[in-house]
Amino acid sequence: MRTTVGIIGAGPAGLLLARLLHNAGIDSVVLESRDRAYVERRQRAGILEQGTVDVLRGAGAGERMDREGLRHDGIELRFDRRRHRVDFPALTGGRSVMVYAQTEVCKDLIALQLEEGGPLLFETEALAVEGADTDRPRVRFRREGAEDVLECDYVVGCDGFWGVARSAVPDGRTFERTYPFSWLGILADVAPSHDELVYARHDRGFALLSMRSPSVSRLYLQVPADTDADSWSDEEIWDELERRFETDDDWSLRRGPITQKSVTPMRSYVHEPMRHGRLFLAGDAAHIVPPTGAKGLNLAVGDVVTFARALAHRTATGSDDLLDAYSATCLRRVWQAERFSYDMTTLLHTAPDATPFEGRLQLARLDRITSSRAAETDLAEAYTGFPIG
């Protein structure tokens, strides 16, 4: 089997890349180890930056998002029993974000790829990337019990931290931070208690109120890093959420049946460079952010947009300049997102060994954001998204 671009992984990054290449007249093959049903129900991110929304629309994958997604023009910061709304459009020249789950993005892109695009091979395990430093890289894979080879001009690894693409990069530097806490996340069949996301800083720990739809709430609690989700009863979760979201007004938390519980570790990771020869890393294969800043999926989108533009430029001009600049171009955006995610995480979470001094510093930082238009604008610009490319 032969193609121009071999894409490993059919998450949102790999699927979007295939779509962008298809629209540019460049052929690709997508290899995905899981089956279609698994990919379409894999719960991950739910906040799309303005740039991501624009890219999906431009790629022809925005119709259902625009119909069913929830546009959000701000977030609420909650601390010291106070509430403060950050107005995105007023601070950014009109930018906003969209609540639209990764599962739905994948469904839309899969449908488009199967209808219009190149091969999308589910239940196909990539075993190794070979010859990345040559002009004919190969992906060795197993499908239906038999091994085969996909010959390519380029390989893009969108297969996550544990995938074969990252392990095929022989050198480079890694930067990493592991946080001493996790998120206990729930899905609940109840209407959201607020019409925008609420980020709460509390002495007992961070809490986040989010949503998946007008009838499904997504909420998170900061918990110790070794927490078992099943060790928390439903009533204990709701009680703790209520404590951490408490305010001095008459706001109340709606409760409902919890349909899913999970624990998400908190971690920052960057691999430099994001390229080895004709192998390019994208998304979690190259970088991971704690979810506090809502950057993971959006960073992956930036990576594949950068690659697709660079390859289209090469096709049109014969110049490798943009491909050669891929890693540096992506990493500028990656490190700004890492910085913002770190800032949000340390601003809102209570470390196990936190001192009263550090707690007061958090409150001082929040006071600064809520009383200074310049500080509030910095948060709004970062949250709605850094420029792509």
- In the prediction, which pLDDT does 172 show? 85
**Span 224-243, mean pLDDT?**
97
Residues 6+ apart with CB under 8 A from 353: 180
How many Å apart are CA 16 and CA 227, to the nearest integer? 34
Q: How far is CA 359 from CA 128, 137, 350, 353, in A?
A: 48, 52, 8, 11
Give percent above pLDDT 70 in the chain: 100
Region 27-39: what's the mean pLDDT? 96
Annotated catalytic residue 180: no
> What pLDDT is attached to residue 117?
92
Percentage of the chain modeled with pLDDT above 90: 96
Listed in sequence order, the DSSP H helices in the chain are 12-23, 36-41, 50-58, 63-68, 88-92, 102-116, 164-167, 234-244, 296-317, 321-324, 326-348, 356-371, 373-384
The CATH H-level superfamily of 5-72+98-175+267-344 is FAD/NAD(P)-binding domain (3.50.50.60)
308-321: pLDDT as tens digits: 999 999 999 999 99
Q: Inform me whether the pLDDT recorded for 237 exceeds 80.
A: yes
Confidence of residue 388 (pLDDT cuts 50, 70, 90): confident
Q: Which of 100, 154, 179, 199 is catalytic?
A: 199
* Run of H or E residues at 138: strand 138-143
Active-site residue, selected from the candidate residues 22, 287, 295, 349: 295
The answer to whether the CB of 27 falls within 8 A of the CB of 6 is no
Domain ranges of the chain: 5-72+98-175+267-344, 179-266+350-384
Q: What is the mean pLDDT of residues 295-302?
A: 96
If one looks up domain 179-266+350-384 in CATH, what number appears? Answer: 3.30.9.10
Structural element, H or E, at residue 72: strand 70-72
Q: Which two tokens stand for residue 345?
A: 């995480």
Residues 138, 129 contacting (CB under 8 angstroms): yes
Residue 45 pLDDT > 90: no
Q: What is the dihedral of CA 330, 332, 335, 340, to 10 degrees?
A: -110
The whole-angstrom separation of Cα 116 and Cα 60 is: 11
Quote the tokens at residue 160: 């996550």
Residue 80, pLDDT score: 95
Distance of CA 265 to the CA centre of its chain: 14
At residue 50, the pLDDT reads 96
pLDDT value at 42 more than 90:
no
- Give the residue carrying structure tokens 């509030």: 376
pLDDT in tens, 70-89: 999 999 999 999 999 999 99
pLDDT over 80 (residue 44): no
Which of these, 319, 333, 326, lies nearest to 279 by C-alpha position? 326
Strand-by-strand arrangement of the 258-272 sheet? 82-87, 74-79, 197-201, 207-213, 216-224, 173-188, 258-272, 287-288
Between the alpha carbon of residue 216 and those of residues 125, 162, 188, 210, the distances in Å are: 34, 31, 6, 9
124-159: pLDDT as tens digits: 999 999 999 999 999 999 999 999 999 999 999 999
pLDDT at 46 over 90: no
Across residues 367-374, what is the average pLDDT? 98
Out of 12, 22, 72, 154, which one is annotated catalytic? 72
- Decide if 189 contacts 216 (C-beta within 8 A): yes
In whole angstroms, give the CA distance from residue 330 to residue 183: 28
Nearest to 69 by CA among 214, 259, 254: 214
Q: Let me know if 295 is a catalytic residue.
A: yes
Question: Strand, coil or helix: what is 181?
Answer: strand
Upstream peptide bond of 273 is cis (omega within 30 degrees of 0): yes
Within 8 A by CB and 6+ apart from 277, the residues are 132, 133, 134, 137
pTM reported for the whole predicted model: 0.95
Whether 261 is catalytic: no
How far is residue 144's CA from residue 70's CA, in Å, rounded to a whole number?
A: 40
Q: Is residue 389 over pLDDT 90?
A: no
Rounded Cα gap, residues 279 and 293, in angstroms: 28
- Report the pLDDT value the prediction gives residue 176, as an integer from 0 to 100: 97
pLDDT bin (cut points 50, 70, 90) of residue 69 is: very high
Give me the amino acid identity at 332: R
The mean per-residue pLDDT over the stretch 325-348 comes to 97
Q: What is the mean pLDDT of residues 224-252?
A: 96
Within 10 angstroms of residue 66's Cβ, the number of other Cβ atoms is 13
Task: Measure the CA–CA gap between 101 and 260, rounded to whole angstroms.
Answer: 15
Average pLDDT score over the chain: 96
Give me the pLDDT at residue 238, please: 98
